[in-house]
Amino acid sequence: MAKWVMVIDLDKCTACQACVVACQVENNIPIAGPDETERQRIIRWMEIIPFIYGEYPDVRMRLLPRPCMQCDNPPCTKVCPVRATMLGPEGIVAQIYPRCIGCRYCTSACPYTVKYFNWHTPSWPEEMRNSLNPDVSVRPAGVVEKCTFCIHRLQKAREKAAAEGRQLREGDYIPACVQTCPSCAMYFGDSENPKSIVSDLIKSPRAFRLLEEIGTEPKVYYLSEGQ
Amino acid sequence: MALTRRDFIKVVGIGAFAATTGCTKLSEFMDEGAVSVPPNGVEKWIPSVCGQCSGGCGIIARVIDGRVVKIEGNPLSPINRGTLCARGQAGLQVLYDPDRIRAPLRRVGDRGSDRWREIGWDEAIGEVAERLNGIRRKGIPHKVAMISGSERGSMDLLLCRFMEALGSPNYFLMPDDNDDIQIDAISVMQGIKGRPLFDISRARYILSFGSPLIETFSSPVQTMRMYGEFRGGNGKMRGRLVHISPRLSVTGIKADRWVPLRPGTEGVFALGIAHVIIKESLYDRDFISSHTSGFDGFREILLKEYTPSYVSKITSLAEDRTIEIAREFASFRPSLAIANRCRLYDQMAIHSLNALIGSIGKRGGIIFQSAPGPYALPLSERAIAMTPISGSPYTLSEAIRNGSPYSLEALLIYNCNPLFSLPDMHEASRGIPFIVSFSPFMNETARTADLILPNNTYLENWGDVLSHTAEGTAIGIRQPVLKPIYRTMQTGDVILRIARNMGGDIEKSMPWGSFKDALFYSLRQLRKRKGEVFGISKGLRGEEEFLEAMLAGGGYREPSDYQRPGEFDFHQVTSPQAVRDYKKGLSGGDEKDYPLYLNIHRLSTHSGITDYNQPYLKESLTPEIPEAWDSWVEINPETGKRRGISTGDMVVVESQAGRIRLRARLYQGIMPDVVSIPFGLGEAGLGRWNKNIGVNPEKILVKDIDLPSGNLIRNSTRVRIYRADG
């Protein structure tokens, strides 16, 4: 069984936000607009989070791209009263919209704040509806959503491989954020496959995971800067 | 630097709290009936070229039953190799912008009244042809000017040819937002006009003097790819980056070290570094003796005057800083010094560092490729007697206003927004009797036009973009990924139709039936050259097969002819005029009345050269400052405290040239005597996502033109700042 893992090299990352926008386009993320953004209701499955240390002139900053960590021990699934969010067989934390009752327990439980609530029925101007991705459903109001590692791409890659009568190969399936990364700072693959790039990278001395100490066992790894 | 749980909660916890405790009426989230996604269907991927900047990235558009649902990078393009930036990814919001201009428009009210009537294409084209012919008949064709957004390809050549055929020398290219390098210094000191390429991926050390290196530099995606390699991609040794600037930008954040430096002292600081390199004999003797002139005089002046203690006095930086950076720069070779396109002499001082260590014309340094590109539409033979109305687009407004050397009868504006990004153009435009815009969007400039002949968006157009990489030259081919969705027309076709309508010589010199014909004429000539189609190196038979393969692969590439770097001239760096400029510093207002410098910084999501009625980009303006949908002014917390200003307060930023109101944001990454405002918002467009969003800081620039280069100096304006309610 595959175990899908993302690695983000912070040394190469330019914080350009191509991943953020690629994700929004790929996954039909609604447009928030100024008012909803002000109310912190903007949805961004992938987001760059700034951390600032120290004071002028000895100030340092860190910019951290943050998708869903796809924890192997996810706090969010444990609090869901209706099993609308659960750990899939290949390690991707699924979000089942028709089951979700909008209680937002998972939103509170997630230490990485990756779960977003739909406060409104998402709407697009008529002209823009043509740009919606037919592989991804638009979520109704009242449900929680989050990064899926673009699991619809996995389904398509599998179908394609099956049609060609072969196994899934390294690189057949990558999420939209990884595909677009201009500085090639993002990697994606199956960590169970010893020949994959990610299985090498996660052994790097630079590799770390966010809030590892709380035992969530994230499948998003970072490679630290400056080394 | 370990990231603790406490840090994390501190930063992201606020958002989570707001999201889970917001008190809302049930009805607000219980409504049914989500949007249905149009159905799936047959999928096609069509290669083309991005049009969000002039970088020339190859794209492939995912098209399902005539709908474009995603844009990705074209893996065969040597520019971006399958990747794309945020702007490129947002391209569908250009195509499907609900506020696009959908048909030719005639203004029916006063200028600026925003009252328009739709007209037919024949009427629009006929009227432009008639007006231009009228001006020609009066024998004053030089009084027609055109401003064009920077495009590197056949469209640029076609417009240039049209203006030449008309008999006007006034074809202006909008200064390219991405040309933020010492291009003027290179041209003056080395006599090279071509576009230099900074071989970032192979450099081991980069000194960035305020350069927006990873925000928006040259061809941004290509630069970011090179940056990834510079940081140890492809098995290379990790390079080191030092960023010198009054503001901690994204480049500064990602740098190994940020050195805050007072505005206007970059040149002196660079000469201080040069002093140490010379004094400690760390320079490249071979390069200096074989490729430069004037070194002895340069050395003498530098050793005498630009000592670390003098430099420290001017820059307020510790002497050790200069010495340490100089040693690093000279020992981690190949290294690169990259300047902003600032004052010419500052650029020259910075560029002289590259010469000192021989980083010119070699790997990991600055590479020069043969220019111009490998093909061209033949230009017309016609000689133009008149001199241009202005030497630089930045002085255009002054020339128009003063009617000196002459006035303008007509202005044509293509693919740019000069009323937004050139100083004083608003006022100047009032004196021009006939303004034609080709804009697909109702932007600040289009709103003053008499006629708008709307262009298609790039995804509906033909075109080509010439770009350089360290490995060679590439021509990306733009082809329509769908038919125009409105009654708009490719401006290339409109220009050809105007020429036909005008008749005579002009018609004869523009013989192509359509812009596509002109483009294919150029592309066919490539077959005789030594390059290859993207993805295919051999085995193409005949012209048509070659053309087809180019359209299928997305372009053509060929290895570079490297130009010899040209002799580097040290004389000018320390010429009396240059020294005067270094000493003078910046002058943009009285220090007593206006105690702070205004810094204008770049955003990777908004170049300011085109229109951004693109909501995804407005939501994610920049990663380091959590602001969206509005402009802000960054103030050092100490400076804010003294003025009683906190984050979120409305403040007034005032210079001799005017005042603007915007929100304050206290930021540790800005020098105490500098405030910074991002460039790109406040476009004054009429789109629903850019109308009344943000302010344009250039509206309060005290106009300061660097005489030797004609550049607009953007960091010399002095301001004061106070609470809007106080």
Rounded to a whole number, what is the distance in Å from the CA of B34 to chain A's nearest CA?
5
| pLDDT confidence of residue B21 | 37
Calpha distance B376→B579 (Å, rounded): 42
Q: Could you tell me if B597 and B672 are in contact, meaning their C-beta atoms sit under 8 angstroms apart?
A: no
Average pLDDT over residues B409-431: 92
Locus of tokens 């699924």: A94
| pLDDT confidence of residue B15 | 40
pLDDT tens by residue, chain A, 227 residues = 899 999 999 999 999 999 999 999 999 999 999 999 999 999 999 999 999 999 999 999 999 999 999 999 999 999 999 999 999 999 999 999 999 999 999 999 999 999 999 999 998 999 999 999 999 999 999 999 999 999 999 999 999 999 999 999 999 999 999 999 999 999 999 999 999 999 999 999 999 999 999 999 999 999 999 86
Q: Could you tell me if B563 and B370 are in contact, meaning their C-beta atoms sit under 8 angstroms apart?
A: yes
Cα-based distances in Å from B310 to A190, B273, B307, B353, B570: 58, 12, 5, 18, 21
| pLDDT confidence of residue B28 | 41
Name the 3-class secondary structure at B655: strand
Give B182's DSSP letter.
S
For strand B705-706 and strand B711-712, is the pairing parallel, antiparallel, or unpaired? antiparallel
Calpha distance B53→B148 (Å, rounded): 13
Categorize the per-residue pLDDT at B44 as very low, low, confident or very high, splitting at 50, 70 and 90.
very high
Give tens-digit pLDDT for A112-135: 999 999 999 998 999 999 999 999
Q: Could you tell me if B571 and B293 are in contact, meaning their C-beta atoms sit under 8 angstroms apart?
A: yes
Q: Sort A115 into a burial class: Cβ within 10 Å, 0-12 / 13-18 / 19+.
A: buried
Residue ranges, CATH 3.40.228.10, chain B: 183-370
| pLDDT confidence of residue B273 | 98
**Contact residues for B53 (Cβ-Cβ < 8 A; gap 6+):** B87, B177, B178, B216, B220, B607, B609, B610
Calpha distance A131→A179 (Å, rounded): 19
Beta carbons of A210 and B3 less than 8 Å apart: yes
Q: Is A134 left (phi over 0), alpha (psi -120 to 50) or beta?
A: alpha
Locus of tokens 């910084």: B601
The CA-based dihedral angle spanning residues B46, B88, A115, A201, taken in that order and rounded to the nearest 10 degrees:
90
With beta carbons under 8 A apart, name residues in chain B contacting A141: 28-32, 34
Rounded to a whole number, what is the distance in Å from the CA of A97 to chain B's nearest CA?
12
With beta carbons under 8 A apart, name residues in chain B contacting A42: 619, 628
Rounded to a whole number, what is the distance in Å from the CA of B403 to chain A's nearest CA?
43
Categorize the per-residue pLDDT at B5 as very low, low, confident or very high, splitting at 50, 70 and 90.
low
Beta carbons of B629 and A37 less than 8 Å apart: yes
Give tens-digit pLDDT for B298-322: 999 999 999 999 999 999 999 999 9
For strand B116-118 and strand B105-107, is the pairing parallel, antiparallel, or unpaired? antiparallel
Q: Is A28 left (phi over 0), alpha (psi -120 to 50) or beta?
A: left
Locus of tokens 């943050």: A66
| Per-state percent for chain A, helix, strand, coil, to nearest 5 | 25, 20, 55
Give tens-digit pLDDT for B180-207: 678 888 888 888 777 788 999 999 999 9
Alpha helices in B585-636 (DSSP H): 615-619
With beta carbons under 8 A apart, name residues in chain A contacting B64: 134
Nearest to A8 by CA among A211, A198, A154: A198
Residue ranges, CATH 2.40.40.20, chain B: 587-723
Categorize the per-residue pLDDT at B272 as very low, low, confident or very high, splitting at 50, 70 and 90.
very high
Indicate which of A60, A131, A210, A214 best probes the interface with B, i.e. most B CBs within 10 Å of its own CB.
Answer: A131
A25 vs B18, B30, B89: nearest CB: B89
Calpha distance A20→A29 (Å, rounded): 11
The CATH label, of 2.60.210.10, 2.40.40.20, 1.10.10.10, 3.30.300.20, for the domain at B587-723 is: 2.40.40.20
Beta carbons of B253 and A51 less than 8 Å apart: no
Structure tokens at B108: 């029916």
- Given a cut of 80, whether residue B497 has pLDDT beyond it is yes
Rounded to a whole number, what is the distance in Å from the CA of A50 to chain B's nearest CA?
5
A with B: how many residue pairs have Cβ under 8 Å apart? 277
Beta carbons of B84 and A182 less than 8 Å apart: yes
Per the model's pLDDT, the better-predicted residue between B17 and B690 turns out to be B690
Beta carbons of A132 and B35 less than 8 Å apart: yes
The CA-based dihedral angle spanning residues B346, B350, B356, B361, taken in that order and rounded to the nearest 10 degrees:
-110
Q: Could you tell me if B299 and B263 are in contact, meaning their C-beta atoms sit under 8 angstroms apart?
A: no
Q: What are phi and psi of B405, to 5 degrees?
A: -75, -15
Share of chain B above pLDDT 70, in %: 91
Question: Which CATH code is given to the segment(s) B43-95?
Answer: 3.30.200.210
Q: Could you tell me if B568 and B335 are in contact, meaning their C-beta atoms sit under 8 angstroms apart?
A: no
E strand or H helix at B132: helix B121-137
A113 vs B12, B33, B672: nearest CB: B12
Q: What are phi and psi of B83, to 5 degrees?
A: -110, 175
For strand B144-148 and strand B410-414, is the pairing parallel, antiparallel, or unpaired? parallel
Q: Could you tell me if B673 and B641 are in contact, meaning their C-beta atoms sit under 8 angstroms apart?
A: no
B224 vs A104, A130, A182: nearest CB: A182
- Given a cut of 70, whether residue B228 has pLDDT beyond it is yes
Mind listing the domains of chain A with CATH numbers?
A: 4-223 (3.30.70.20)
Indicate which of A38, A113, A120 best probes the interface with B, i.e. most B CBs within 10 Å of its own CB.
Answer: A113
User: Which class in CATH covers the domain with range B100-169+384-455+490-503?
Assistant: alpha beta
Q: What are phi and psi of B641, to 5 degrees?
A: -60, -40
Beta carbons of A41 and B19 less than 8 Å apart: yes
For strand B451-452 and strand B105-107, is the pairing parallel, antiparallel, or unpaired? antiparallel
Q: Could you tell me if A75 and A60 are in contact, meaning their C-beta atoms sit under 8 angstroms apart?
A: no
For strand B335-339 and strand B205-209, is the pairing parallel, antiparallel, or unpaired? parallel
B254 vs A15, A116, A181: nearest CB: A15
Mean pLDDT for all residues in chain B: 89
A180 vs B36, B83, B215: nearest CB: B83
E strand or H helix at B27: helix B26-30
B68 vs A24, A124, A131: nearest CB: A131
| pLDDT confidence of residue B473 | 87
B15 vs A21, A40, A181: nearest CB: A40
Calpha distance B546→B544 (Å, rounded): 5
Q: Could you tell me if B565 and B360 are in contact, meaning their C-beta atoms sit under 8 angstroms apart?
A: yes
Average pLDDT over residues B80-86: 97
Nearest to B266 by CA among B353, B350, B205: B350
Beta carbons of B228 and A12 less than 8 Å apart: yes
Residue ranges, CATH 3.30.200.210, chain B: 43-95
Q: Is B547 left (phi over 0), alpha (psi -120 to 50) or beta?
A: alpha
Categorize the per-residue pLDDT at B29 as very low, low, confident or very high, splitting at 50, 70 and 90.
very low
- Given a cut of 50, whether residue B163 has pLDDT beyond it is yes
Residue ranges, CATH 3.40.50.740, chain B: 100-169+384-455+490-503
Longest dimension (CA), chain A: 60
Distance of CA B493 to the CA centre of its chain: 26
User: Which class in CATH covers the domain with range B183-370?
Assistant: alpha beta
Name the 3-class secondary structure at B482: coil
Give B202's DSSP letter.
G
Beta carbons of B214 and A14 less than 8 Å apart: yes
